[in-house]
A and B are shown apart, each in its own frame.
Chain A
Amino acid sequence: MMIVMGNGSSFLGRYLGQYYFPVANTTGVNTTWNFFSPDPAHIMYVHYIVHFEDDYGNPSKDPKEYFYPEQKDGSNFAMNVRRHNYMMRFMIIDPTRVAQFFVPWVCKQNPGSTKVQFALILNRIPSLDKVITLKDTPYSDLLTTEELNQNVYSCQKPS
Chain B
Amino acid sequence: MFIAAKNQVKNFQKLVNDFLFGEGHFERLGVFRFLLCGVMFYIACWRQLNVDQYGPNSLIPAANAFDVFSEFYKPYLKLFFWPDTLASTVHWIYIGLLGLATVGLSNRVLMILTWVIAQGFIQRNFSVLFGADVIGTLFLFFLSFTRCNEYFSLRGFFRKKKVVYNQNSWSDQLSTVFFRLLQLQLFTIYAYTGFEKLKGQTWWDGTALWTVLVNPQFTSFDLLFLKNFPTFFAIGTFVTIIFEVYFWVMVSIKRTRFLWLCLGVLFHLMIGVLLGLMSFSLVMISTYVLFSYRTNLRQFMEKALPVRFQKLISL
Contact = CB atoms under 8 A, between A and B. Distances in A.
B193 A87 contact: no
Contacts of A3: 184, 188
A158 to B, nearest CB: 14
Chain B interface residue number, banded: 35 or more
A30 to B, nearest CB: 6
Given A28-B141, A37-B193, A83 B128 contact: yes
B220 interface: yes
Interface string A1-18: 011001111000000000
Contact of B215 (A7, A37, A42): A42
Contacts of A60: none
Interface in B142-169: none
A47 B233 CA distance: 32
Interface stretch (A49-57, A127-135, A144-152): A127-135
A41 B195 CA distance: 18
B83 interface: no
Interface residues of A, number: 58
A34 interface: yes
Contacts of B218: 40, 74
A109 B192 CA distance: 40
Nearest to A124: B211
A79 to B, nearest CB: 4
A129 B199 CA distance: 21
A159 interface: no
B203 interface: yes
Given A7-B195, A30-B73, A37 B203 contact: yes
Interface string B52-93: 010001111000100110001111110100000000000000
Contacts of B220: 75, 77
Given A27-B119, A86-B129, A87-B53, A125 B214 contact: yes
Nearest to B219: A77
B292 interface: no
A33 B230 CA distance: 28
A33 B192 contact: yes
A136 interface: no
B53 A128 contact: no
B181 A74 contact: no
A38 B196 CA distance: 6
Contacts of A109: 57
Contacts of A9: 72
A100 B64 contact: yes
A127 B201 CA distance: 12
B127 A2 contact: no
Contacts of A129: 207
Interface in B74-116: 74-77, 79
A38 B200 contact: yes
Contacts of B203: 37-39
Nearest to A9: B72
Given A2-B188, A29-B138, A128-B233, A34 B130 contact: no
Contacts of B77: 22, 26
B55 to A, nearest CB: 12
Interface string B209-237: 01110111110100010010010010000
Nearest to A127: B207
A97 B125 CA distance: 13
25 contacts: A2-B184, A8-B72, A8-B73, A25-B74, A25-B75, A28-B122, A28-B137, A30-B72, A30-B73, A35-B193, A37-B200, A38-B196, A39-B200, A40-B218, A41-B217, A44-B217, A77-B220, A79-B47, A83-B128, A83-B129, A86-B130, A97-B68, A125-B215, A127-B210, A132-B227
Given A33-B196, A36-B208, A39-B200, 8 more contacts: A34-B193, A35-B196, A41-B217, A79-B43, A97-B68, A125-B210, A125-B214, A128-B233
Interface of B: 43, 46-47, 49-50, 53, 57-60, 64, 67-68, 72-77, 79, 119, 122, 126-131, 134, 137-138, 141, 181, 184-185, 188-189, 191-193, 195-197, 199-203, 207-208, 210-212, 214-218, 220, 224, 227, 230, 233, 276, 279
